[in-house]
Chains A and B, each alone.
Chain A
Amino acid sequence: MDILKLSKDKFADFLATLSEQKLYAPQKVGESLRFAPVTENSKVELDMANTTVPPKSIFFPQTETLYSYEMGNTEMQTPREVDEGIVLGARPCDARALVIVDNLFAWDVDDPYYQDQRAKNTVVGLACNKPCVNCFCLSVGGDPASTEGLDVLMTELEDAYVLEPLTEKGQKLCQSVAAVTEQAAAEDQDGAKALHQQAREMITRKIETEGIPEKLPTLWDNSLWQETADSCLGCGVCTFLCPTCHCFDIQDEVEGIEGRRCRMWDSCMFKEYTLHTSGHNPRPTRRERTRNRINHKYSYFVQKFDVIACVGCGRCINSCPVNIDIVEILRQAKEAL
């Protein structure tokens, strides 16, 4: 199917058309930017570096009901399947993260909740014209205009967007907006490509990953982990904001006679994450927890699924309260190998 051009003055119409389905797009929640359902009063923010919280929150909500029940009764109701929807404005790194996490949620046992959301949503990506200072997607198999995990790739030109459908779902979406778009001219397509190239050249941070997945665990007792953990506060910023972090807790939430068994994001940086009921903790300090976080992303996950569980979005670096910097950790690891 053809590549389309959406003039910016038709953007409101474009949104209106897409909103006929459930539409998620970046919006301000409090002071943060995240994906939220678009309603009549929504102010969609596509002029951004990236959202504070990645779009994983749509596919894997921070708190999600697995099933509900009435206290004293053994009947369990699972939530109904979700409606079809559209995710507009996901950065290519965050969409790639979905493809990476797909591996885990489909591993041996299918996760019905995540997979339902994945099947029902069409992901419209927004190529990264201006990577942020801590972006390093190129080092971990990504690209500012990567199409992995996307159904449509959108590129912002000065006064228009170029829409490239990539999958059947994407083609369907493009057909639905035919009335507000036109065929993209060759120069628009070239303009988009030039912007992609320009973005690539703007990325300055990089890591060398060769040999890391195989050899990182050999640095088990290296002082690097203690040095990193010294300043670590043990909060969940890095993991909660990470588009590939997928760990969760399961707990019962009861209000009156209404009960729900929910899953909620959990963080390997919390001491309770591995704490046994006996009081024993196999990862007793932040040293072990930091080591596990990095090893999981750069070695364990790769050994299982053959892909690094990091897309180089830079959120963990940008938001760490104490400047723990994964690029720096991996530089030191590489040096020590």
Chain B
Amino acid sequence: MCNNANPYVPYVATIEDAWFETEGDRCVKTFKVTLDDAAARESWSHQPGQCAMVGILGVGESMFCISCSPTEGDFLRFSIMRAGKNTQALHELEAGDKIMVRGPYGNTFPLDEWKGKQIITIGGGIGQAPLRPIVEYVKANLDQYAGLTMIYGARTSGDLCFKGEFEDMSKSDDLNCHLTIDLEEEGWGYNVGFVPTMLMDVNPSPENAIAITCGPPIMIRFVLENLKKLGFADEQIYTTLENRMKCGFGKCGRCNVGNLYVCKDGPVFSYATLKDIPEAFA
């Protein structure tokens, strides 16, 4: 949460670096951002799973997940898909430009509780953005976890985010990386097929494991079905929800699913919590 006396007022931050992850109309651009104010940097503390409001004065602000782990350094990363008014304006920004940030908001993945377990992330498209902090966090603390399996897919190879970062996944036996795209492409050396199918092929054991999934709603639906087939209990399955948000701290009202606010009670939810909320997967 912003240390500002006024929770609506954002911090001024500077874009250190910015690059495109994917191409096309709905391309994804990643921004590496540092807060300008030293005291703000000092007080800022986020954990994997949390979000922040990112915006431009005169345009607006939107909620994005923080796509880096605190283990990576004293900066923030946001991977933003070009979609509406705010994201179009954000995509115009380059290194050196100012950007407004407030947060962090929401709960975190319970990575402490998960110590000693096998961590399985199952992501699709831009849905890898909230999973990336888990991957980075577990990689940095690999001795505390039983291992990491990352399943990540997209429509085409061009739609995969964070492509340069997967090579070091082969460095340890405790790391497994499974990339997949929907349709065969020339020069593609990995798997072909949908993410839920890939999950069945990888066939992870539910024994001492936690599965976290994020991606398009239809993918999540089939991943959940398949995780149940593989024997995962509701408490072993996690996902993050997103909804339209305006304040980020439980006032503006719109992000509720049932009696839970995604901005405060979420965005991280276990399937055990969500399965009884009829609106959760609407």
Q: Which residues in A have their C-beta under 8 angstroms from that of B159?
A: none
Q: Which residue of A lies closest to B255 (CB)?
A: A274
Given A69-B57, A111-B251, are A76 and B9 neighbors across the interface (CB < 8 Å)?
yes
CB distance from A261 to the nearest CB of B (A): 7
With A and B bound together, what is the CA distance between A109 and B9 in angstroms?
13
Which chain B residues in 55-72 approach chain A with CB under 8 Å?
57-62
CB distance from B127 to the nearest CB of A (A): 12
Residue A14 interfacial (CB < 8 Å): no
- Give the number of chain B interface residues (Cβ < 8 Å): 39
Residue B244 interfacial (CB < 8 Å): yes
- Give the number of chain A interface residues (Cβ < 8 Å): 49
Work out how many contacts link A and B, with CB atoms closer than 8 A: 115
Residue B254 interfacial (CB < 8 Å): yes
Which chain B residues in 19-70 approach chain A with CB under 8 Å?
57-62
Pick from A71, A104, A248, A252: contact of B60, CB under 8 Å = A252
Interface string of A227-258 (1 = CB under 8 A from B): 00000000000000000001111111010000
Given contacts A221-B278, A292-B256, 10 further A-B contacts (CB under 8 A): A78-B9, A108-B249, A108-B250, A217-B259, A246-B253, A247-B253, A248-B251, A250-B8, A276-B243, A278-B83
Residue B87 interfacial (CB < 8 Å): yes
Q: Which residues in A have their C-beta under 8 angstroms from that of B256?
A: 292, 296, 300
**Secondary structure at chain B's binding surface: helix, strand, loop or mixed?**
loop
B58-A252 in contact (CB<8A) = yes
Interface string of A280-317 (1 = CB under 8 A from B): 10110000100010011001100110000000000000
Q: Which residue of A lies closest to B82 (CB)?
A: A277
With A and B bound together, what is the CA distance between A200 and B8 in angstroms?
42
Residue A67 interfacial (CB < 8 Å): yes
A78-B6 in contact (CB<8A) = yes
What are 11 A-B pairs at a CB distance below 8 A?
A69-B57, A107-B251, A109-B249, A110-B7, A221-B278, A248-B253, A250-B8, A292-B256, A296-B256, A299-B259, A300-B258
With A and B bound together, what is the CA distance between A38 and B9 in angstroms?
32
Interface string of A64-93 (1 = CB under 8 A from B): 001101010110101000000000000000
With A and B bound together, what is the CA distance between A288 and B254 in angstroms?
13
A217-B84 in contact (CB<8A) = no
Q: Give B contacts to A, CB under 8 Å.
A: 1, 5-10, 12, 57-62, 83-84, 87, 98, 100, 217, 242-244, 246-247, 249-254, 256-259, 264, 278-279, 282
Residue A126 interfacial (CB < 8 Å): no
B282-A74 in contact (CB<8A) = no
Pick from A107, A108, A249: contact of B252, CB under 8 Å = A249
Residue A37 interfacial (CB < 8 Å): no
B282-A288 in contact (CB<8A) = yes
Residue A259 interfacial (CB < 8 Å): yes
CB distance from A88 to the nearest CB of B (A): 28
Given A76-B9, A78-B6, are A274 and B254 neighbors across the interface (CB < 8 Å)?
yes
A252-B57 in contact (CB<8A) = yes
A247-B254 in contact (CB<8A) = yes
With A and B bound together, what is the CA distance between A69 and B6 in angstroms?
15
Pick from B1, B6, B98, B247: contact of A250, CB under 8 Å = B247
B6-A277 in contact (CB<8A) = no
Residue A59 interfacial (CB < 8 Å): no
Q: Which residues in B have their C-beta under 8 angstroms from that of A283?
A: 279, 282
